Amino acid sequence: MTSLILLYNFIKMKKSLILLLSTVLLLSGCNFFKSEKDRFVSATSEALCLIFTSENPMSPSQETSDKVKAIYTKNGFNADDQAAMETITKKYENDQAVKDTTAAALKECSGIDVNNPAPAETAATPATDAAPTTDAPETEVTPATPAVTPAK
């Protein structure tokens, strides 16, 4: 009789363990069910937001770089393998859906719109092309007149 009770408890415990593990996997947002492309988009979007909201986006600190690597690792990529990361990046660099999704994420988190940059972001206007100020002396330009020949 005790062996039946032990067997029953073992089966019950095994079912509970399986149920618990499957629930944890589903609720944790496990990348097991995401495609490589979805994981890449997710990681790239998060990394871009981290970089462009950091203190110096053009020269990220070592701490920011480590966080970016952690983001890609969390999404199932080997961020320490530079060649593999370059390969995966090249794989999706011309994918318009990837570009659109990451651009939208960057705009949402940092306000940067890579698809429609502000005029100040596209090209700086040189000072010589600026409108004249009121302090500058005005010069009068006389229109050219045709040469007049005397009548004979």
Give one DSSP letter per residue of 25-52, joined into a string: HHHTT-GGGS-HHHHHHHHHHHHHHHHH
Quote helix, strand, coil % in the chain, to nearest 5: 60, 0, 40
pLDDT (mean) for 23-43: 74
pLDDT (mean) for 85-114: 94
Is 50 exceeded by the pLDDT of residue 109? Answer: yes
Question: Tokens 């994420």 identify what position?
Answer: 105
Is 70 exceeded by the pLDDT of residue 115? Answer: yes
Q: Tell which residue, 78, 47, 44, has the closest CA to residue 64.
A: 47
Highest mean pLDDT among 21-25, 102-106, 126-130: 102-106
Q: Residue 96: CB partners within 8 Å, gap ≥ 6? A: none
Residue 1 gets which letter from DSSP?
-
Is 60 exceeded by the pLDDT of residue 24? Answer: no
pTM of model > 0.75 = no
